[in-house]
Amino acid sequence: MDRLRQRADFLAVANGARVNSAAFVVQSRPRDDHGPVRVGFTVTRKNGTATERNRIRRRLRELVKRVDPITMRPHSDYVLVGRRAALNRDFATMLDDLRSALHRLERQPSKPNDKPHPN
């Protein structure tokens, strides 16, 4: 599994399917190339101080490490957008939320990328 680092990749995934959870939002987008699954993490400034945002990001990274990689579509990009609730939510509950979100994404049809992002 690789990490998303380029802003353009994050923007492309933002146009794809999404599933909401109490502690995070999972966005996904299939890719045309045959590379590994890539995952990105983002937490906006409205979620707290830098220390709190970093803690949310660390918890999200740990969730992805612990989830079974088979639950993620091959050749896809995922972005986890952290919410403030991720600071205090039980980790086991968050792990169940992530599994459920990935399962719901699997059942969703992927959105056609017919209109480009304005940025």
Examine residue 114 and state whether it is found in any structural domain, yes or no: no
Examine residue 118 and state whether it is found in any structural domain, yes or no: no
| Among candidate residues 75, 77, 74, 66, the one with its CA nearest the CA of residue 42 | 77
Examine residue 43 and state whether it is found in any structural domain, yes or no: yes
Examine residue 112 and state whether it is found in any structural domain, yes or no: no
Written as tens digits, the pLDDT of the chain (119 aa) is 899 999 999 999 999 999 999 999 999 999 888 889 999 999 999 999 999 999 999 999 999 999 988 889 888 999 999 999 999 999 999 999 999 999 999 887 655 554 555 55
- Domain hosting 95: range is 2-107
Give the three-state DSSP class for 43. coil
Domains in the chain, number: 1
**pTM, two decimal places:** 0.87
Examine residue 115 and state whether it is found in any structural domain, yes or no: no
Examine residue 28 and state whether it is found in any structural domain, yes or no: yes
Where residue 74 sits, what CATH number does that domain have?
Answer: 3.30.230.10
Residues 6+ apart with CB under 8 A from 55: 87
